Structure 1
């Protein structure tokens, strides 16, 4: 049922070879170049070479499910397998294929809602990989897990929009290649519009006066290459034509953006967990304690068995969700998308944590990818909606489904319930 198409199968083979021959051998060099570049986050040369190679191999922009000039889309189910493989090198493979967040979601927004002029200015350079972008939604002063709380204002002034507010956890905005900010703010703060129809999205060139990056944000004390920053928008002015989509449609557009992004995260997390399990097993075979290999220890064998079971469960759940997205659409698959967004990052965190424990002190160091994997996985339990919000969405769907399917209780059950109410 979840077998890849012939094109998908061929891409899986190509992707497997790309990882083995180009990505894995480049990881150590990439880390060294990132450390040498320092906080300026200059593009590591090795990443540019990998981008060139992935393009030549036909692994470029595979995430985009919409047809665009020069782009033939894959199904979500086919892409799931490719994204899983890319997750085996979370910090390097996705970007080398132009398939990394936040650009992926931003390209989807522009593809679905951009005008021809907006696509020409922003979508084409993003698809070419000549620029990068950031998605500017989360705010420090409100609970952004409920996006309708967002307070940054986007007010009309003649032929311009004026933006004021503070945002944080904005990924990639500090990268020198980042030229576009897609910001979500309130365009109807005092009107009568429903709560979820007050927000809009606006396209802001990063060099616009009034845009300030105030500080970098670390993740568990670690400064990721992707970068996360806190930003201020102080009377930032952009032309009226910079609005993306319709006024008041920002919340609905954000859900259209985040749905595919959530499943992409999950696909990559499965690949990270799979690699962590492989590393755990290899380590357990060559390290000994008290005269016996770690692989002979009962607790380590339990870790290996539990990891295998949990990865396979998560993979099937994710493939099923991708299948639903392809066959019934993202909206109808919303509950499953929320479900995997909870299940998969939590699974990956457990598997990677077991691998770190098996490695001992080395697992916490930069000598292996596990510590970086763990930090990135922990981010995903917050990114694109925290676990609690997605559990709420799944529960709401299940309760509604139960209400729709309620049938009269059998006489015996009804009598028993009546008896209980009298107790």
Structure 2
């Protein structure tokens, strides 16, 4: 069973090459889509290319334009970059030849070296369900479809059977079909060595922080006072998003079950906000690695992958892959995890006013949604290994396999299992 990795590449773009980059991305999103050959990368869940526009930070520092490539994948990030430099050579050359320092005569080795040199780390990386790879997702979707087809074709034969008996019939059918037999055994767990490493990290971080607890408790009231003083000076962005810009964004949203999302913004100036952001992201990274890694991000179940990345020390991007409309996505966050939104995004410019980091903020719904739209950027090139499967679908298909892998089920459990079909 593979573990999931993230690849994030940020390539600086000379301002005079911006229009050329836009043209290249437009080509790769349309008639030149096959040049990137993402479908030939085993274990690639999602990939995107987008333009990050030039901007000036609140401190006056210039942030130049750039091209951003991201991938959510199974297995080694280094292996993906090597494969990308070979299999996706034509598309890479078209996109990144606009960027500073791209090899004049690229070959797999020089492309790999260039991509590695421009790779940037993720401050936090969320995986809906660790260990569930692309082959498993695709195979379990096929299993579900086959079982549903069998039930449709044998409706009269199973009409008078108990739920437990129907489960037995379906299991027997899967055992006799070589294409479905995999569904009668549980999905493999991650390797023991990997699980041991994760357990060590899970225990070691609190163990290291535990001796600091008295100091942190003493410092907490002073931090709260400083934080509140900063919050009282914060100026929220009350500008409504440009209707034309929103319309352009909407043309690329909600076409299929799965959507890409990207927002780019600057941190509020000053060392306090910079340090606070680092602390919050450290906590988020730990939480998504060890707590929110089984299908739910603090109650939000519609996200496949997400990442927080520093583009510069003052500028960040948040990227996610989510299900359904952006409106329902935002509402899901506001209703279930507004405090989490506040904890991280209140450190960015223009965010609705918060109280002690966690309160208000996203609860100011109109201000929050407007601020999000104002910082949202289009994803020019987007690829998905399973356009028609929501995170809920993927989780249900995995549950169907878990039930089928059991030799028998009591009637009540079998009834609940059949409700998934």
State the TM bucket, normalised to the shorter chain: under 0.3
Q: Bigger relative contact order, structure 1 or 2, given CA contacts below 8 A and separation 6+? A: 2
Structure number with the higher helix fraction is 1
Provide the TM-score with structure 1 as the length reference: 0.24
